[in-house]
Amino acid sequence: MTEHDYDSVMARKPAIMLGSLGLDYQPFMRDPIAFDYEALMGLVPYSIEEIRQVQAASGIGSTALIELRQLTQLARRLAPKGKGARIFVKDEASNPSGSYKARRASLSLHHAQRAGFKGVVSATSGNYGAAVASQAARRGMSCIVVQEVFDSLGIGQPEILEKGRACEIYGAEVRQMSVGPELFYSFLRVLEETGFFNASLYTPFAIAGVEPLGFEIVEQMQSVVGRMPDVVICTHAGGGNLTGTARGLRKAGATATQVIGASVDLSGLHMASDVDFNRKHFTTGHTGFGIPFAGWPDRTDVPRNAARVLRYMDRYLLLKQGEVFYVTEALARLEGLERGPAGNVSLAAAFALAQEMDEDRTIVVQETEYAGAGKQPSAQLTFARARGVEILRGDSEQEVPGKNVIIPDHPGRIKVRDMDMTRLRTSLIRKAVAGAGGGEISPEVAAFLAAETQTDESFVRAALN
């Protein structure tokens, strides 16, 4: 008889995952650390042009690139003379399910359908669930979304409730879970019971699906500005957004473009805490995902994660919650665009960074997401205030996640704050080696870890000492 207790199900994880992906990961598992990342991505048998065709058939991609002239103007007023880069945003909210996640879902489900799966399962905080459900609906496939929604009092924050509603509207069965990482246990059980496809965010298909986003940015910037973008900023959580975009940029020849990650700083809040769960006002694009996933990508639901941000991320900027809400307001009032939370994290970073760059430089914020009931600052902050979180004006630097949200009292308060990349890179290297039992590493492993972290062998060896 098959046992369904927590430990038994988790012990079957490798077998369940292998059967539910329709991909052979064996060649990538021979060495505990090193594997051929490009060969993994090579499991996707399509060129970027073919991917674009698959996506265009679902109305995905070819989103507008909008120049934010007023925000650029404002940044220039705050900046020293001659500074203030032009800011552009890619309007990914116009994808079918309202975010760039449609790109990831479409290629994954294209693959799942070809591999003969009748249904798909996704474990997600939300936008991806809606994207998978939307793509499943188009393809006549069944969809189950396992989503972390409530605390132990049965309360969910507006943004999460909205994401769950969106999954339901596309006909998905939504299993709404209370707080806890054992969501993964429930997810594995569903895969085992149904034999459905694991529409993981982290397969090569899910990442290759984002590459056209980076590719389009280059095409559009070439046509509008006549040059490659100098900086592209990606809101970062699990890492697929940045990884896929950066790969697309490179495929379009933008090898000199700086790729920057941005996350909301939620330090001090525990991601598995039933109490902290409803005291954060962003449900993705925050450090609770961003830092652990950057430092250790293989913490996920596939044998090897195809989203590996440290291979591509040149800088990682941290924003306060109040700064992002402020910029969301600025986007509406100065640009006439009401957009959902995730993209505004990068936008806040772009606004601060623009002031350090020359006027003739360019920054592309690579996404927006849809705004709807629950997703606005009004919804999230009304909820926060009712739970005793203070909403103040002042210096965002004083913000304490879970206690207050400080809306800047001046746009000049929005700051560039760098996460220490050396620390992240060192952490990845140490974790990889410790996970394989420690000891001396071969030149192949050293070269792999250097590629993983955009460093060199001497950095890798120094990190291990």
Partner 1 sequence: MSKLGNWVQIHDIILEPHQRPASLPEETRRVPLEMRVKGWLLEETAELGDTVRIRTAIGTILSGVLIADNPAYGHDFGRAVPELLAAGDELVALMKSNGAEA
Ligand X SMILES: Cc1ncc(COP(=O)(O)O)c(C=O)c1O
Handedness of CA 455, 458, 459, 463 (dihedral sign): positive
CA distance 379 to 407: 15
Among 235, 257, 344, 453, indicate the residue that binds ligand X (CB under 6 A).
235
The answer to whether residue 439 forms part of the interface with partner 1 (CB under 8 A) is no
Least distance to ligand X from the beta carbon of 266, Å?
A: 14
The answer to whether residue 286 forms part of the interface with ligand X (CB under 6 A) is no
Stretch that binds partner 1, among 83-91, 218-226, 403-411, 450-458 (CB under 8 A): 403-411
The answer to whether residue 8 forms part of the interface with partner 1 (CB under 8 A) is no
Between 379 and 419, CB nearer to partner 1: 379
Least distance to partner 1 from the beta carbon of 191, Å?
A: 13
In 242-356, which ranges are E strands? 258-264, 315-319
CA distance 279 to 327: 21
Stretch that binds ligand X, among 5-13, 52-60, 115-123, 230-238 (CB under 6 A): 230-238
C-alpha distances out from residue 130 to 96, 106, 292, 463, Å: 10, 12, 24, 41
Q: Are strands 86-90 and 362-365 parallel, antiparallel or unpaired?
A: parallel
Q: With contacts defined by CB under 8 A, how many residues of the chain interact with partner 1?
A: 67
Handedness of CA 440, 442, 446, 449 (dihedral sign): negative
* CA 375 to chain centroid: 17
Least distance to partner 1 from the beta carbon of 359, Å?
A: 14
- Sites for ligand X among residues 320-359 (CB under 6 A): 342
The answer to whether residue 157 forms part of the interface with ligand X (CB under 6 A) is no
Stretch that binds partner 1, among 60-68, 100-108, 265-273, 422-430 (CB under 8 A): 265-273
The CA-based dihedral angle spanning residues 139, 58, 48, 61, taken in that order and rounded to the nearest 10 degrees? -140
C-alpha distances out from residue 180 to 84, 97, 289, 312, 357, Å: 43, 26, 14, 30, 42
CA atoms within 13 A on the CB side of 121: 23
The answer to whether residue 105 forms part of the interface with ligand X (CB under 6 A) is no
**Which residues pair with residue 121 across a beta bridge?**
144, 198
Least distance to ligand X from the beta carbon of 343, Å?
A: 6
Query: Tokens 């009292």, residue?
Result: 409
- Sites for ligand X among residues 387-446 (CB under 6 A): none
Among 229, 239, 248, 303, indicate the residue that binds ligand X (CB under 6 A).
239
- Sites for partner 1 among residues 168-187 (CB under 8 A): 168, 171-182, 185-186
The answer to whether residue 380 forms part of the interface with ligand X (CB under 6 A) is no
* Three-class DSSP category at 187: helix
In angstroms, the first-to-last Cα distance of the chain is 48
The answer to whether residue 126 forms part of the interface with partner 1 (CB under 8 A) is no
Among 379, 389, 428, 450, indicate the residue that binds partner 1 (CB under 8 A).
379
Query: Tokens 């409530």, residue?
Result: 150
CB contact at 8 A, 214 and 246: yes
Among 58, 376, 427, 455, indicate the residue that binds partner 1 (CB under 8 A).
376
Q: With contacts defined by CB under 6 A, how many residues of the chain interact with ligand X?
A: 16
Least distance to ligand X from the beta carbon of 115, Å?
A: 23
Least distance to partner 1 from the beta carbon of 227, Å?
A: 27
Least distance to partner 1 from the beta carbon of 413, Å?
A: 11
CB contact at 8 A, 311 and 40: no
Among 276, 369, 399, 452, indicate the residue that binds ligand X (CB under 6 A).
369
- Sites for partner 1 among residues 79-118 (CB under 8 A): none
CB contact at 8 A, 132 and 120: yes
Between 142 and 258, CB nearer to partner 1: 142
What is the b/e burial string over 163-195, where b = at least 16 CB atoms within 10 angstroms of the residue's CB? Answer: bbebbeebebbbbbbbbeebbbbbbbebbbebe
- Sites for partner 1 among residues 128-167 (CB under 8 A): 142-144, 149-150, 152, 154, 156, 158-159, 161-162, 165
Which chain residues interact with partner 1 by CB under 8 A?
5-6, 70, 73-74, 77-78, 119, 142-144, 149-150, 152, 154, 156, 158-159, 161-162, 165, 168, 171-182, 185-186, 194, 270, 272-275, 325-326, 328-330, 332-334, 373-374, 376-383, 391-393, 407-408, 411-412
State the residues that interact with ligand X by CB under 6 A. 99, 101, 125, 127, 235-241, 284-285, 342, 367, 369
